[in-house]
Structures are given as structure tokens and as C-alpha cells.
Amino acid sequence: MQVSLKKWVATGSPWVWLNAGAVAISVVLVLGLLGVIATRGLVHFWPASLQEYQYTDSSGAQMAVLGERVQREQVTAEQIRNSGIEVSDDVEFLARQLIKVGNRDLYGSDFRWVLERQLSDLTYPANAVSIERREWGNFYGYIVGIKENGQVVAEQTTADNTLLDEVQQRTERAIAIYKHIQSVEGGEIGAVNYELEKLRLAERKLQLDGRDTKENLEQLQAEKTELQARYAHLEAELMAMYTPFKRDSLLIVSADGQQKEINFSEIVRLYQPNSQNLWQKIQHYGMKLVEFVSDDPREANTEGGIFPAIFGTVLMVMIMSLIVTPFGVVAAVYLREYASQGFITRTIRIAVNNLAGVPSIVYGVFGLGFFVYFIGGNLDQLFYQSALPSPTFGTPGLMWASLTLALLTLPVVIVATEEGLSRIPRSVREGSLALGATKFETLMRIVIPMASPAMMTGVILAVARAAGEVAPLMLVGVVKLAPNLPLDMNAPFLHLERKFMHLGFHIYDVGFQSPNVEAARPLVYATALMLVVVIAVLNLTAIAIRNRLREKYRALDM
């Protein structure tokens, strides 16, 4: 039996099963992690029921509270005693709940921990409304009236629900006006401001060049006058929209009787979660998901969407790929096909492999010093003197972030491309040369196309690493909130000098820098899941291209 065991070990089967088990465990762990992220992130968008209860504090005073139950846990009696609440000695554990009470402008905080023994008379009122606001978070309460131009035009009791339809209509009207205002401010007015700034810089350049003659200045002034007239017209149109936008307001009362007036212009969404059926909740869930991936953030990134972060991540990775691929391929071709395989070449390969292990923050410091301050500062001195002292390229931006990550991922592309070139049989090169092709033609028409799947493998690895990097980006271009996207309709359309948002930095900012940690926690999971999805989509796209190239040149391998 000992002999047969030795034979079995000698066949290598135990190592095959060991590797298979390790791979299976890794897959289970990855799927489990993704499951936790997806569960905790996606449940955030489901409309939670509002519960009203009587809360008795440590002094015995009672108050009505309305909110969403977020979490339930068991805590030791010692923890409760340390917080100043009396607990009898025979009690070891107590249950407590984390309630999202909203109404931050009234209570000062969105969340409250309460012991279950302090709760009583729990109900789920059907007419309780949840109001998502552009500022101050959610408001939970009951509709009691509507104001128009400061005058009350409709009223109801907290137990009634007759005003809901009219409130919904006015909310939808205010949202439509808000979207129109945003399109005018960010579109037409933004374009006019951009052209006015270009004229200012053109005038400044004429002064620096000594060409600020009367004729040149008159031409600029004529264009400036025309743009200012257009701006005044758009501003008047905008003011005309703001009048009805700010006209109506909603009177609402909290569960403890405090009345609040909320302008309809502040409302993002209003609904009654306890009276929604399953289909209405599914529709609400879908709208929240669409808002999450297509809208701008608000409330210090703890509410709204993450579209600018998605856009910035994808655009930066695409630019980085366009930069790193040709440089990596050229370097690999030179090292494998042209350089003499001696001491210097081996030293370069060792250096390339070592660069792959350098911490990413080191690349960020290098990018800040070399790309931003040295190259960007000199570019400003040479071509953008009219904008100084405000830097154009001498400040972190999209171009420098892409170049820094291209430098970070360059070793990966070089190594993968070299591996692909080394697998191409020597007979293929010799056959091409024998037929009269030059070495360059052989490389361009035979060798590099056959090695293209390996090149795409390097790009896939580069994309996977670059999309998740955060540390270097904090130094060379990423910001918490970017006022404009790097790509718009203003020439030159792609603005490489602009700062941008990134999903990885968004996760860091919301999770660790947010003033409202409890409100931000579900958004952290949701954003992390979106980052995984973005990386997966980018990688799958590159894998699909690689597979097509592999099929195209399979005949040459044979």
C-alpha cells in the first residue's frame, strides 16, 4: 500500500487536486465577497417601510418617532450602563435598533440608536411620507398643507390623504423645471461662459505679445458684446423659470408635532412607502438604480448618483490604455527582436520586473513632481502664459493621471508582450525573410499580429490594476467633486487639463471622509459593486478583442 501511495504521489495527482481545491476555495471566497457587497449595496435602493413608535428616554419622557429600521443587534448590559442608562444586574444582553429618523434640520442627526425596551406602540402608518431632499437628507412626516406664493391654498389633517395627488403633481412640475434650469445653466450658459473666458485669455495674450492694437481689441470687443447680450438673454430666461420654481411649498409635520415648510424646489422624490404595493416598490427600486448610475452626487456624495465617477474612471482607463499599449509594445519588440541579448538587456529586464513591484504611491509622487510640476509648469510658461498665474497643465488633471497610471502599468504590458513574442516559432520569421520580406515587414505583418493576443493580455492586466488604483490619483488629478466632465461640447471637446472623479476615490471619500458615516455606508457597498462591474466590463471587452485576434491568427500558429 505504501508503494501504491508513492506511485500516486509520483504521478502528480495530489498536486492537481490541491491546486483544484485552492482554486475552488478562491472562487467561493470571491463570490462570497461579491455577494456581501451586492447584498448590502443593492438593498439600499429598496423603499424601506416607515415605522412609528413611542420612544421613552432614560428620564421617562415619551415622544413619537417616525423612521426606518436600519439595523438590529445584541449588546451587553455593561455597554448600556457605560452610556448612562440604568440596567438591572440580572440582565446580560439587550437588543437595540438603529433607526434612520431623518429630519436632520430638526434633530441634528439622521440616525438614532434605541433600546427595544424603550419602544412601544409600533405602527406602520399608510399616510406617512418619505421626502428625499437636495439638502438636509430625508424628511419623514405627514402632509398637512400646500402653500402658493406664501398663502395656504390647501390643508388636511395628519390622518387624511386627500392632498397626495396634488402634491405629486406639483413635485413633478418642480422637478421638470429643475431639469430645464440645469440644462440651461450647464449647457447654454456654460458654453457662453466658456467662450467669454477664451476671449479674456485672447485679449491677455495680445497684451503679452504687444499686439493689443485698437483693431484687434475692437474685434474681440465685438465678439464679447455679442456673447454678453446672449448671456443676458439666457439669464432673463433663467430668472423667469426660477419664479414658478420657487413659488410652491409643502407644509409637513413630523411625528412629534414639529411643522416644517419645504419648498417643492428642494424635493427630489416624495412617496408613501407603507402604502406601496410590490409593483410600485419595484418601479421605485428601478428608478433609484437608474438615478444611481446616471445622476450627479449630492449631499457631500452621500446621496444621488455616481455618474461623474463612472465616466471619469472609464475615460481615464481608455486614455491610459491608448498611451501604455504602443509604448509597451515598442519596448518589448526592441528588447526581444532588436537588442543584443547581453548583460545590458538582462539588466533592463530585471529593472522592468522590479518596477512592477514598486508601490503605487511612489508613482503618484513621481507623477506630481515630473509630469505636473515640471512638464505641466513648462507647458504653461510656453503656451499658456495668458492664463497665468492660474495653471492650465501645471496642476493635477486627467492627462497626468493617465500618464502616471500608464507608467505604473507599463511593466505588465512589456512582460506580457515579450512572452507572446517568445512563443512565436523561429521558423515563421525565417520563412518570411526567405520569401524576401525585410525584418521590419516581418515584424509588422507576421510577428506582431501573431503576438497581439498576448499584447491584449497585458492590456487586460493593466486595465484591471489601473481601474482600481487610488493612491497615485489622489496626487495627480482626482477630486471629490468635479464641476465639469472632462468631455463636453466645448472645443476641443476633450479637456485633458481638467480634474475628474474616480470610483475608487469616491469609495474612500464616502467611506472615510463623510460627515454622515451611517448614511454613507450602503453607498460605499453600492459604489464598490459598480467599480467591480466597470472593471469586469472593461476586461470582458478586452478579452473579446483578444479572442477574435486569437481566432484570426490561429492558422499562422499551426
Q: Cell 505636473, residue?
A: 372
- The full DSSP string for 372-431 is IIIIIHHHHHHH-GGGTTS-SSSS--HHHHHHHHHHHHHHHHHHHHHHHHHTS-HHHHHH
Q: Which of these, 49, 33, 57, 149, lies nearest to 99 by C-alpha position?
A: 49
∠325-331-337 over CA atoms, to 5°?
Answer: 120
Q: Report yes or no: 528 and 507 within 8 Å, Cβ to Cβ.
A: yes
Return the CA Rg of the chain.
31
Which cell is 21 given? 481545491
Q: Report yes or no: 395 and 478 within 8 Å, Cβ to Cβ.
A: no
∠442-447-452 over CA atoms, to 5°?
Answer: 145
- The full DSSP string for 387-399 is GTTS-SSSS--HH
Output the tens digit of pLDDT for each of the chain's 558 residues: 556 777 766 777 778 888 888 999 999 998 998 888 888 888 888 898 999 988 887 777 788 889 898 888 887 777 776 666 666 666 677 888 888 888 888 888 888 888 888 888 888 998 999 999 988 889 999 998 898 888 888 888 877 888 888 989 999 999 999 988 888 888 888 888 888 888 888 888 888 878 877 887 888 888 888 888 898 988 888 888 888 888 889 999 998 888 999 999 899 999 999 999 999 999 999 999 999 998 888 887 888 889 999 999 999 999 999 999 999 989 888 888 888 878 888 888 888 888 888 888 999 999 999 999 999 989 988 888 888 888 889 899 999 999 999 999 999 899 888 888 888 888 888 888 888 888 888 888 888 888 888 888 888 888 888 888 888 999 998 988 888 888 888 878 888 888 999 998 988 888 887 777 777 788 889 999 999 888 888 888 888 888 887 777 665 555
Q: Which of these, 132, 133, 127, lies nearest to 156 by C-alpha position?
A: 127
Which residue type occupies 138?
Answer: N
pLDDT reported for residue 285: 92
SS3 270: strand
Sheet with 51-56, side-by-side order of all strands: 111-115, 93-100, 62-76, 51-56, 119-123
Which cell is 239 given? 430668472
Give the number of residues written for the chain: 558
Q: pTM for the complete prediction? A: 0.87
Sequence-separated (6 or more) residues with CB below 8 Å from residue 255: 52, 64, 65, 66, 140, 141, 142
Sequence-separated (6 or more) residues with CB below 8 Å from residue 234: 184, 188, 189, 192
Question: What distance in Å separates the CA atoms of residue 23 and residue 56, rounded to the nearest whole number?
Answer: 54
Q: Report yes or no: 429 and 510 within 8 Å, Cβ to Cβ.
A: no
pLDDT reported for residue 82: 67
